[in-house]
Amino acid sequence: MIKKVIVAISIILVVLLSSVGFLYAADNSSNKTYHVTASSNNGGTITPKGNQTVASGDSITFTISVDSGYELEWLRTDNAKVKNFTASSYTFDNVVKNHTIQAHFSKINNGNSNNNGGTITSEGNQPVKKGNGLAFNVSKLFGFFHNIFLKIFNRLKS
């Protein structure tokens, strides 16, 4: 009889204590989700793009692909530039807060275009000795080219 009373009291205590939260030991963070928002400009892609939902503690990987004629100028996570990023993917491990990731691509300037339709050409690869000049054929001379010439000749003089 005493055993039955002790069991009954134990059951009543467990029910009462769990109803007020004393015995509830489950971690609610496992049900929590966070958002990672990915974006990029033209010139490449970041995949997956947009708002991604990630369970607390999980990881998410983004793939960065660069279009032909472009380069990745910078990658930012949570508004901070990722230094020396040269990989093709970025992973957020153990996500426990919201994040952002942004990829910014720029057109590759191969040195013969001002991106306004003008060009600079020379006759092949020509070595230049310090203090000497180099001739260029120029079309559509804009202020941009003036700045290029100043930079080239200042380098040759130094």
pLDDT tens per residue, range 29-81: 568 999 999 999 999 999 999 999 999 999 999 999 999 999 999 999 999 99
Q: Is 8 helix (H, G, I), strand (E, B) or coil?
A: helix
Tracing tokens 């009543």 back to the chain, one arrives at 12
pTM of the model: 0.54
Closest CA to 39 of 29, 47, 31: 47
Q: What's the CA gap between 2 and 26, in Å, rounded?
A: 33
pLDDT tens per residue, range 99-129: 999 999 999 876 554 455 555 565 566 666 6
Torsion of CA 62, 63, 67, 68, to 10 degrees: 150
